[in-house]
Amino acid sequence: MNPIINGIPVSYILGLAGILFSIGVLGVLIRRNIVIIFMSVELILNSVNLVFVTFSKALSHISGETVVFFVMAIAAAEAAVGLALVIAIFRHKKSTNVDELQSMKW
């Protein structure tokens, strides 16, 4: 495994991906707006993409970049379905605050 990619140490890139993942998880936890929670999930997916590309380059194997392409397609599908759900929920509840979505609580 090559520890340096084009002059960048692999550990630095993995650290950046970890920071990005933590920011995404923090956003999911602390925000109450459902669209911003959605954007935080996109941040998490992007940090995973960064890890895939990093290991693909460090191990000189192209499969990681191919998987990133599939992750992007899944993220696009998730965006379409998730935002349609957001619109449906907003039409039903007149709100995008996840604290007010309590009808499945018992």
Partner 1 sequence: MDEIIYMNLESSPSFLLFIFFGTVTVVTALSVIFQKNPVVSAVSLVFTFFALAGIYGIMGALFIATMQVLVYAGAIMVLVVFVLMLLSQRAETLSRYRKHPIRLVLLSVFVFGFFFLLYSALTTGVPHSDQMGKGYELTEYSFPIQGTSTVNAKGNVGVVGASTYLDYLLPFEMISILLLVAVLGAVILAKKKSTEVEQTKDNVL
Distance of alpha carbon 39 from alpha carbon 8, whole angstroms: 28
In one letter, which amino acid is 86?
Answer: V
Is residue 18 near partner 1 by the rule CB under 8 A? no
* First-last CA distance in the chain: 52
State the minimum distance, in angstroms, from the CB of residue 74 to partner 1: 7
Distances (CA, A) of 20 to 51, 55, 75, 90: 11, 17, 17, 29
Report the distance separating Cα 2 and Cα 55, nearest Å: 9
Tally of residues, the chain: 106
Of residues 33-92, those binding partner 1 (CB under 8 A): 33, 35-36, 38-40, 42-43, 46, 49-50, 53-54, 56-58, 60, 62-63, 65-66, 68-70, 72-81, 83-88, 90-91
In the complex, minimum distance from the CB of residue 83 to partner 1, in angstroms, rounded to a whole number? 5
Residues lying near partner 1 in the complex (CB under 8 A) are found at 2-9, 12-13, 16, 19-20, 23-24, 26-27, 30-31, 33, 35-36, 38-40, 42-43, 46, 49-50, 53-54, 56-58, 60, 62-63, 65-66, 68-70, 72-81, 83-88, 90-91, 96
